């Protein structure tokens, strides 16, 4: 900005509006006319936004009418410069808005990238956990298969032991029957032997009793015989 409050590098700094006498065609010196022409030419050279070169037209201007035309041309160019400045400010505001939007989108992109990275890390951890779980599941499947085989073997062993136990129970019953039969045989044999012993003892006792009674009978017979003999002799 210059001292007049006009931005540097604009047409307002290049061309100054002519005074009233110049506009009315009453200019008194050639310096002012030459300055206006030089300023207009310099403006035409520096103003690239109009896409038109006014240098030749400005150099051809001479006299009061030419100065009036130059003043009108400068005024027109100044208005055009103001319009361009307004457009520039609008475009600058748009650029600022777009820059803020780009900054916001950049921050949002960075945040989304962080979220994406965190999700990728989480997915990696999940994949690692899935791999661990798959290995653990495979190990459990193998252990389950081994346990099933072991259970099947134990069931077969239990069935074998049950059949063996039934056989042993049957053998035990048979042995108990045999023992009972042997016991009864022994009891009958013992009873028979005891009966024989009792009969022998009774027979021996009767024989002894008979042997003891024979002398008494003989004595009685002899006594009776003696009595008979005495009776006969008398």
Residue 128 lies in a domain: yes
Residue 70 lies in a domain: yes
pLDDT tens by residue, 110-156: 999 999 999 999 999 999 999 999 999 999 999 999 999 999 999 99
Residue 17 is given by DSSP the state: P
Which has more pLDDT, 190 or 31?
190
Residue 121 lies in a domain: yes
Place of tokens 């748009």: 94
Give SS3 for 49: coil
Torsion sign, CA atoms 85, 87, 91, 93: positive
> Packing angle between helix 30-46 and helix 63-233, nearest 10 degrees?
30
Q: Which two tokens stand for residue 154?
A: 């134990």
pLDDT tens by residue, 44-71: 444 444 445 556 555 555 556 677 887 8
The number of residues making up the chain comes to: 234
Structural domain count, the chain: 1
Q: Which two tokens stand for residue 64?
A: 């009061």
Residue 39 lies in a domain: no
Residue 112 lies in a domain: yes
Domain that holds residue 125: 63-155
Residue 85 lies in a domain: yes
Residue 27 lies in a domain: no
pLDDT tens by residue, 159-205: 999 999 999 999 999 999 999 998 888 888 888 777 776 766 766 66
Residue 45 lies in a domain: no
What is the rounded CA–CA span in Å between residue 182 and residue 167?
22
pTM of the model: 0.37
């Amino acid at each position: 900005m210059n001292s007049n409050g006009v931005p540097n590098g604009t047409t307002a700094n290049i061309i100054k509006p002519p005074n009233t006498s110049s506009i009315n065609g009453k200019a008194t010196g050639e310096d002012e006319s030459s300055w206006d022409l030089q300023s207009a030419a310099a403006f035409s050279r520096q103003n690239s936004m109009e896409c038109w070169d006014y240098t030749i037209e400005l150099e051809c201007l001479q006299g009061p009418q030419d100065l009036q035309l130059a003043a009108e041309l400068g005024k027109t160019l100044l208005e055009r410069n103001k319009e361009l400045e307004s457009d520039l400010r609008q475009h600058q505001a748009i650029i600022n808005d777009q820059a803020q939007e780009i900054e916001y989108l950049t921050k949002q992109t960075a945040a989304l990238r962080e979220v994406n990275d965190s999700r990728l890390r989480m997915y990696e951890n999940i994949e690692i956990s899935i791999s661990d779980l798959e290995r653990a599941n495979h190990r459990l499947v193998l252990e389950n298969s081994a346990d099933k085989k072991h259970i099947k073997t134990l069931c077969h062993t239990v069935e074998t032991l049950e059949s063996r136990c039934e056989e042993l129970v049957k053998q035990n019953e048979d042995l108990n029957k045999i023992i009972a039969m042997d016991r009864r045989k022994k009891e009958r044999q013992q009873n028979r032997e005891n009966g024989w012993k009792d009969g022998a003892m009774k027979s021996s006792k009767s024989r002894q009793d008979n042997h003891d009674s024979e002398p008494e009978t003989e004595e009685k017979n002899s006594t009776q015989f003696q009595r008979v003999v005495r009776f006969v002799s008398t």
